[in-house]
Amino acid sequence: MIGREKGFSLIEVLVALVLLSIGLLGLAGLQTRGVRDNHGAYLRTQATLCVKDLVDRMRANRPAALAGDYDIAFGVVAVGGDTVAAQDLSQWQQNLAQLPGPGQGRVAVDKTSRRLLVDVAWDDSRGVADRAVLHLETEL
């Protein structure tokens, strides 16, 4: 009578390796997505800090903000001038340029309601979308 074989067969080892490989690929995918999402959150935080910095500068220079000295559109380059508003906008655009793409911003003040609208856009092709936009609407 032939005795029972003990141990693993080659097929059992191959099945175990396939299952382990699938698990490790899933773990690598999760790690990649986590890094990508973390980078997107970092960029959104940087954009938020830039927006808050400009809003604080505008509130400190309220008469100029209500006069429209801070109004600027996407793609318009603010050159440093003699006014505080021109210098603030120039500094703000330099900060936005640190965002990928480089980042751009738009500012609009509604003089009747004293509402401030600030938009910041940057390249987020490493994240979920090709272009990310941060929108802030607040009172001046």
pLDDT digits (tens, 9 = 90+) for 18-27: 999 999 999 9
59 within domain boundaries = yes
Structural domain for 68, as ranges: 10-139
Per-residue pLDDT tens digits of the chain, which is 140 residues long: 566 766 668 888 899 999 999 999 999 999 988 988 888 888 889 999 999 999 999 999 989 888 888 998 888 887 767 889 889 999 999 999 898 888 889 999 988 888 999 999 988 877 666 778 888 888 87
Residue 109 lies in a domain: yes
The tally of domains found in the chain comes to: 1
Residue 2 placed within a domain: no
* Residue at 132 is within a domain: yes
109-116's contacts with Cβ under 8 Å and 24+ in sequence apart are 109/58, 109/65, 109/66, 109/68, 109/70, 109/71, 109/140, 111/66, 111/68, 114/66, 114/139, 114/140, 115/139, 115/140, 116/55, 116/58, 116/65, 116/140
On whether residue 56 sits in a domain, the answer given is yes
In a domain, 4, yes or no: no
Q: Is residue 31 part of a domain?
A: yes
Measured between alpha carbons, how far is residue 75 from residues 44, 78, 116, 138 in Å? 20, 9, 19, 23
